[in-house]
Structure 1
């Protein structure tokens, strides 16, 4: 059983991500208790449910408890245990502080009476900063424009969830690919699938942004170190959706080449076979899970999550079995709307050839 109460029919007037993140308020028990209305996604090969779903539902629950003129400006999260997609999640919102300019909420997500995730959020009253404010922001990287416009609405689908995914993404080539890991930048365009309805208000766009902020986040470290996530010949925990021979050839091909051709019509085993070439031995990821996740919302009322957003990620440090990733998120016209930070466990398989 993946939900506490039988899910209602999908609301066709809402976008897919609104339906995915819908909450049920358990008012008869406690008005500050919520639960997931629909089953949550367990990505293939992951230890538990997609972390962005829990981040977003905690935010959605907290937003229901603050006055309408307050908006989220920061949330600090800790992943405690892997979430089980077969068990309902209970979200408990604690009212920590009610101030004139700021209010604070803590939300704990629990399964089997154990906390799996906890977050503290701060909300600011709109306009509380006054008329004269200190302002500056980092511009969107200029080389993004040189790559051409964002994808059109029918391009991009690298989320792993296929047509059922509530968002779509399109990865770009790595900047400074031949440099040291801490100098590389990983980019992707991302947006909610379809159109977010007026029903959810702007809170729905904020929850959607929180959901998408966890996409490929800690995986940045694997990309800047050119690590295997699943080495050729290594058995996967879940059965692949393509035949084993095609999977093996995909894994052995160059990452950027795959990104260019894998969605082209007519790509088959023969095409993939031509991509194979002798490779150097590379270390393989043994364990990669998120420990914490922070989001600073800079323009909480000034973006649409169903329009293309650029996410740029970089890793300033990795060591001692952990890694740190920074992420900046921009609207397609260059406004910096959020900055995110994530630390995670990054361990190599014991039989790997080299170290991070």
Structure 2
């Protein structure tokens, strides 16, 4: 396991303070606020720590209320709402400076058989056919603004290979959709709970940007005030985040200063492993 992935796994390994009470820390990366995917994943880990071991998360729903402060720990308080015959429900509140910054509800289910169908994975180039790393920055993003290049070239535990990068250096109004291959850059093993938490972490990356494509804008545009408002995720089938997954995204609507984006995560074999939905703030800034 490389250092970046090991640091991510360490960040998700919460400290137990008391029954139903956990503490999480943020890596020292110089960011002004905590990455939303980190709070989602840490809150999910807190819920997992209180759920029966034989029950895996099948859905989560979260609301962002305040930006997280990366300089201080986050306290996660878990309310064990219910343990039924097949399902367990948990409510997690993330707290900093005496105030709630995020809430998450999560549902866990015992493994069982049932009806099974899924939508097909789009026919798109595979990750081996797409630029990555230095070639992505030098050949594809050379014309993109500096904030875009800096974002894509930043060392991280998660590797992205976008099918198209047109929206990063064009001001044209484009269809509100994107497709990105994604994986963790080292093997984290087969633990279902850890794989689900890391998938929740990376599911918050790139998602909000999709709602801006129809307007010829990107998340890096200084004319836009952008922030995640909520995040929902459904886990359909077993997954391994160290393997490539295709993250397909589309935005059916934006209005009232908010944009809605939906996402689907497919394994290399075309298996739909998870679905995502997020509404975010995409408010035009006053430039006076």
TM-score, normalization: structure 2?
0.84
Matched, 1:121 2:106: yes
Q: Residue 153 and residue 60 in structure 1: after superposition, are their counterparts in 2 closer, same or farther (change >3 A)?
A: farther
> Gaps (5+ residues) in structure 1?
1-9, 235-283
Counterpart residue number, 2:254? 318
Counterpart residue number, 2:185? 193
Question: Which protein is richer in strand relative to its size?
Answer: 2
Matched, 1:62 2:47: yes
* Cα contact 1:52–1:213 (8 A) shared by 2: yes
Identify the match of residue 80 of structure 2 among 90, 95, 116. Answer: 95
Counterpart residue number, 1:136? 117
Answer with 211-220 or 221-230: which moved more.
221-230
Matches of 1:93 and 1:124, distance apart in 2: 18
> Gaps (5+ residues) in structure 2?
138-148
Quote the offset at 1:116 in angstroms.
0.1
Q: Residue 103 and residue 40 in structure 1: after superposition, are their counterparts in 2 closer, same or farther (change >3 A)?
A: farther
Could you say what the CA RMSD is over the residues aligned between the two structures, in angstroms? 3.2
Matched, 1:291 2:279: no
Q: Residue 141 and residue 230 in structure 1: after superposition, are their counterparts in 2 closer, same or farther (change >3 A)?
A: closer
Q: Residue 152 and residue 193 in structure 1: after superposition, are their counterparts in 2 closer, same or farther (change >3 A)?
A: farther
Matched, 1:303 2:288: no
Tell me, what secondary structure is at the counterpart of 2:37?
A: helix
Quote the offset at 1:345 in angstroms.
1.0
* Cα contact 1:98–1:104 (8 A) shared by 2: yes
Counterpart residue number, 1:220? 210
Matched, 1:346 2:282: yes
* Cα contact 2:164–2:179 (8 A) shared by 1: yes
Matched, 1:210 2:207: no
Computing the radius of gyration over CA atoms, which structure comes out larger, 1 or 2? 1
Q: Residue 294 and residue 150 in structure 1: after superposition, are their counterparts in 2 closer, same or farther (change >3 A)?
A: farther
Tell me, what secondary structure is at the counterpart of 1:219?
A: helix
TM-score, normalization: structure 1?
0.69
* Cα contact 1:329–1:339 (8 A) shared by 2: yes
Q: Residue 221 and residue 152 in structure 1: after superposition, are their counterparts in 2 closer, same or farther (change >3 A)?
A: closer
Matched, 1:19 2:4: no
Equivalenced residues, count: 274
Dislocated runs of 4+, deviation >6 Å: 152-159, 174-180
Quote the offset at 1:224 in angstroms.
3.5
* Cα contact 1:40–1:53 (8 A) shared by 2: no
Quote the offset at 1:17 in angstroms.
2.5
Tell me, what secondary structure is at the counterpart of 1:316?
A: strand
Counterpart residue number, 1:268? none
